[in-house]
Amino acid sequence: MIEEIQFYEPNEDYGFLSNFSHSPIHLSDVTWPTSEHYYQAQKFTNSEIVQEILNAPTPDDAFQLSRKYAHLVKSDWMDVRHSVMRYIVFEKFRQNPHFTHLLVSTGEKLLTEHSHKDSYWGDGGDGRGQNELGKILMEVRDYFAEQEPFKHVHFVDSAKLPTQWGTFQMYGFVERATGKEHLALVYGELKQGEPPLIRLHSECLTGDALFSARCDCGFQLSRAMENIVNAGSGVLFYLRQEGRGIGLINKIRAYHLQDDGADTVEANEALGFAADMRNYEFCKGMLSFLNIESVKLMTNNPRKVKALKTAGINIVERVALQEGNNPHNSGYLKTKASKLGHMFDSSFIK
């Protein structure tokens, strides 16, 4: 049974789908406040009417103006209105990527404009209408679902996450290629043009949750969250890449080999894995959802720096995150430096 999303008012659930939702659309040298403004204005050839509709304070006013001048609608409007609507809905999402992420995140659901006033663009309120706007939205969704950066993750939901340092807003994403569930913990306000302090933290159950001293992850995680709160804003991306991508059980097998003398790279390779199996491509989708283009990145790992640069993310600053050196992990840290290129100060790994 295909799930259905019914939308109508811009301020209700899925309101971004409505033509009345605020979504600036720049066409040649004009900025239309909503797709509704543009659609209603195209009914007329009289430039003064077009200008009056463009300047209408709300989409509802734009709609009322087109009713007021109904006797002046151009003669071929009924022949062209569908292509006008399709064009402006596509442009709305092309120019407002956050909305595009939300649209793509509706997955395969049926999108229905639940409008008792309109049985052409909507369902007529009784489900018997043509729902032409819903059909256009699903077509536009299918297109963007295969495009960068929308194809990597679906946003599902967000909720507050109070912590000892401060309260983050937790965003849940599902990676389309693997089904893995990744998080973005956002603190404070992410301001356009101000690169936020971020961390791409790879999941380490033993370090992050079981207080393990044989790696530096848990120490880094708490420090990173504290740093973000102290900076006033930022994002901790929690990536389900346990064991540098080989998973928890394989990491235990790798630890066992390390208990018998192998180093962290040799152990992975003895199990038939590369030293590091992680891929960060999908992070593009989460960064784009949050409208982040430049970052200050907390890491010691040159591969992460490279991965983000390859993903087109501008790293304005790399912030070292050297935490938790102790007798149980000093060999591990030394191997990360010598074999995986981790950038540690000599004072950190004595």
Ligand X SMILES: Nc1nc2c(ncn2[C@@H]2O[C@H](COP(=O)(O)OP(=O)(O)OP(=O)(O)O)[C@@H](O)[C@H]2O)c(=O)[nH]1
Scanning the structure block, which residue is given the tokens 């991508």? 245
The backbone region for 193, taken as left when phi is positive above 0, alpha when psi lies in -120 to 50, beta otherwise, is: left
Could you give the CA distance from residue 45 to residue 306 in angstroms, rounded to a whole number? 53
Among 19, 42, 264, 325, interactor with ligand X by CB under 6 A:
264
Binding-site residue ranges for GTP: 199-203, 220, 242-244, 264, 299, 304
DSSP, collapsed to helix, strand or coil, labels residue 150 as coil
Strand (E) or helix (H) holding 140? helix 132-144
Among 299, 311, 318, 324, interactor with ligand X by CB under 6 A:
299
DSSP, collapsed to helix, strand or coil, labels residue 305 as helix
Q: How many residues bind ligand X (CB under 6 A)?
A: 24
Site for Zn ion in 163-192 (CB under 5 A): none
Query: Pattern of binders to Zn ion over 112-131, x per CB under 5 A?
Result: --------------------
Residue of 171, 162, 140 whose CA lies nearest to 286: 171
Please identify, using beta-carbon distances, which residue of 80 and 209 lies nearer to ligand X: 209
Could you give the CA distance from residue 60 to residue 97 in angstroms, rounded to a whole number? 24
Q: Which amino acid is at 44?
A: F
Among 268, 282, 285, 289, interactor with ligand X by CB under 6 A:
268
E strand residue ranges, 48-187 = 110-113, 153-162, 167-175, 181-187
Task: Confirm or reject binding of residue 62 to ligand X (CB under 6 A).
Answer: no
Any catalytic annotation for residue 86? no
Cβ atoms within 10 Å of 117's Cβ, excluding its own: 10
Among 241, 262, 292, 308, interactor with ligand X by CB under 6 A:
241
Among 217, 265, 295, 349, interactor with Zn ion by CB under 5 A:
217
DSSP 3-state percent helix, strand, coil across the chain (nearest 5): 40, 20, 45
Task: Confirm or reject binding of residue 246 to ligand X (CB under 6 A).
Answer: yes
The residue annotated as part of the active site, out of 208, 216, 263, 276, is 276
Could you give the CA distance from residue 77 to residue 67 in angstroms, rounded to a whole number? 14
Residue of 87, 290, 282, 287 whose CA lies nearest to 188: 290
Question: Which among 11-19, 93-101, 209-217, 228-236 is the span making contact with ligand X, rule CB under 6 A?
Answer: 209-217
Please list the residues that pair with 319 across neighbouring strands.
298
Binding-site residue ranges for Zn(2+): 204, 215, 217
Task: Confirm or reject binding of residue 324 to Zn ion (CB under 5 A).
Answer: no
Task: Confirm or reject binding of residue 212 to ligand X (CB under 6 A).
Answer: no
Least Å distance, CB 251 to Zn ion, is 8
Structure tokens at 298: 């907390």
The residue annotated as part of the active site, out of 278, 303, 318, 345, is 278
Binding-site residue ranges: 199-204, 215, 217, 220, 242-244, 264, 299, 304
Any catalytic annotation for residue 278? yes
Least Å distance, CB 334 to Zn ion, is 15
Residue of 162, 115, 112, 114 whose CA lies nearest to 138: 112
Could you give the CA distance from residue 284 to residue 75 in angstroms, rounded to a whole number? 46
Site for Zn ion in 193-212 (CB under 5 A): 204, 207
Least Å distance, CB 251 to ligand X, is 5
Binding site for ligand X (CB under 6 A): 202-204, 215-217, 220, 241-244, 246, 251, 254, 258, 264, 268, 299-301, 304, 321, 336, 342
Binding site for Zn ion (CB under 5 A): 204, 207, 215, 217
Q: Which residues are catalytic?
A: 276, 278
